[in-house]
Amino acid sequence: MIIGLRCRECKKEFSPSIRYVCDDCFGALDVIYDYDSIHLTKNLLANRENNMWRYKELLPVEPQDSLYSFHSGWTPLIKASKLAKALGLNNLYIKNDSVNPTFSFKDRPAALGVAAALNFGLEAVGCASTGNLAAATAAYAARAGLPCYVVIPSSIEQSKISQAQAYGATIIAVEGTYDDSNRLAAQAGEYYNIGMVNINLRPYYVEGSKTLAFEVAEQLGWDVPDTIVVPTASGAMLNAICRGFEELMEIGFVRNTPATIVAAQASGCNPISRAYKEGKDVIMPIQQPDTIAKSLAIGDPGDGIYVLRRLRNNGLAEDADDDEIIEGCRLLAQTEGIFTEPAGGVAIAVLKKLVEQGKIGKDDKIVCYITGNGLKAPDVLQSILPRPIVVKPELKALSSILLGG
Amino acid sequence: MAIVEVFIPSVISNSKEKARIKVDAKDVKELLFLLEKDGIVERNRLFDDSGKIKKFLNLYVNGKRQNDLEIQLNDGDEVSILPSVAGG
Ligand SMILES: Cc1ncc(COP(=O)(O)O)c(C=O)c1O
Ligand SMILES: [Zn+2]
């Protein structure tokens, strides 16, 4: 079903291969499909297993058994009535992607990246990561039986490092930013012949995140939200989600795409929302990101310019500072019982701000993507949470604590 | 003069093979001149018509992005030219 790869800039086409930039203009490459040859129907889907591979016709590689059997994706879409009420909204849903096998949305692209690596016969995989992709790539590599090398900025959360190490990955912690890690990983991929899922396998990798659109539409009964809120770092996921909705329209499954796309960023690393708000058409990289939302700390977003173009067409961007992010995490946990890492707090905080600014209608059907699990960065809420009350094991010690005591 | 190590990925080099070579050059400008002279990478692969480095390419000296071609090089510096990889 896939025809090949096409340069996003000059449109030059290539056969499917391990290649990620155009050899003429060095623009990024995207997978192209022959939609006419795709015979997917809603009925066919109804009989398939509930995981991301149910949309295999719209994905560039088929999973090997070891990857398929992980059952990634098909995470819950939750009607968030209590959170909606707190924000003054009437029709809010949470796509809780923090309950994937490795506890972030990165399961989706990592699965495609590792599947592509196996297809191309590569003998090692890896990635550059702000934390979540490290763990995801490491887990899929473990299932595939491939060694895994992840390059991360040395500042990321220990829990994310431990998770990736538990799966057997070799961690290369760079004294520098994500952008430094990304560049080093690009060179390592080339010089040591490693399938770096988000670099030299990127055209395949990004396709995995389209399933975030497919699932939401299917879970809404083949309907499309008016507004989607997406935590954004490199912009790859936002772009993929938009393309996912566009493809559903292309194959006749839905009649429109979301009217409003919201890119949610952290104020301490906001290259996209800053460009959007300042009315610029270029992205100025943030040299030294500084935010508790470490998974969103990408100063030089690869897909930034493409996200910006989409937002100019039909979108919004906003950012949230550390306090607002923490409050977003708290609010989601205490209204909907979903404990998210700061990236999720960014999405909630930005949604809250845009509602307050009157930029999002209160009756809009909104889907907010929650992309990472709170247990991956459990310490961030500590600053606002009370210390546990320590008592002697005696009933009378509870009288001042419990209601009606 | 300074001996620097240069990394060129396959998508950029003339031979379509990646290159990792030592070159003796005083600044980036001279380095690029020598790379062209030795048939490793052509200038028009790297620069647009206005003489600026192409939009989707970055040049790094010791891991720092550089646009200034006059920048002095020192012994042991690491120079790389890479497509601006879409990270994340
Ligand atoms: C939890 C989480 N949410 C969102 C993102 C942003 O994804 P992207 O870089 O594709 O914009 C990341 C990136 O690592 C992440 O880890
Ligand atoms: Zn091109």
ipTM computed for the complex: 0.91
Interval A243-275: pLDDT, tens? 999 999 999 999 999 999 999 999 999 999 999
- Structure tokens belonging to residue A350: 């930005």
Look up the domain containing A218 and give its range: 77-103+209-383
Q: Identify the CATH number of the domain in which residue A277 sits.
A: 3.40.50.1100
User: Per DSSP, which regions of A232-275 are E strands?
Assistant: 260-266
Any domain includes A219: yes
Mean pLDDT of chain B: 89
Average pLDDT on A285-295 reads: 95
Nearest ligand to the CA atom of B83: 2
Q: Out of A21, A176, A236, name the one closest to residue B83 (CB).
A: A21
Searching chain A, which residue's CA lies closest to the CA of residue B87? Answer: A302
Mean pLDDT of chain A: 96
Kindly tell me the burial class for residue A220, based on how many C-beta atoms sit within 10 Å of its own C-beta (0-12, 13-18, 19 or more): middle
Q: Output the CA A294–ligand 1 centroid distance in Å.
A: 10
Interval A332-383: pLDDT, tens? 999 999 999 999 999 999 999 999 999 999 999 999 999 999 999 988 888 8
Confidence of residue B15 (pLDDT cuts 50, 70, 90): confident
Structural domains for chain B: 2-83 (3.10.20.30)
Domain count, chain A: 1
Asked if residue B50 has pLDDT above 90, the reply is: no
| Closest residue to atom 4 of ligand 1, CA basis | A231
Check residue B69 and give its pLDDT: 86
Looking at the DSSP bridge assignments, the partners of residue B64 are B61
Q: List chain A residues with CB under 8 Å of B21.
A: none
Distance from CA of B82 to the nearest CA of A (A): 8
Kindly tell me the burial class for residue A325, based on how many C-beta atoms sit within 10 Å of its own C-beta (0-12, 13-18, 19 or more): buried
Whether B87 sits inside 8 A of A300 (CB atoms) is yes
Asked if residue A405 has pLDDT above 60, the reply is: no
Whether B87 sits inside 8 A of A26 (CB atoms) is no
Check residue B87 and give its pLDDT: 63
Average pLDDT on A22-30 reads: 93
Confidence of residue B86 (pLDDT cuts 50, 70, 90): low
| Cα dihedral A24, A202, A148, A151 sign | positive
Any domain includes A287: yes
Neighbours of ion ligand 2 (CB under 5 A): A 7, 9-10, 12, 22, 24-25, 27
Average pLDDT on B49-74 reads: 89
Q: List chain A residues with CB under 8 Å of B5.
A: none
Other beta carbons within 10 angstroms of residue A321's beta carbon come to 17
Q: Output the CA A237–ligand 1 centroid distance in Å.
A: 7
Interval A376-400: pLDDT, tens? 998 888 889 999 999 999 998 898 8
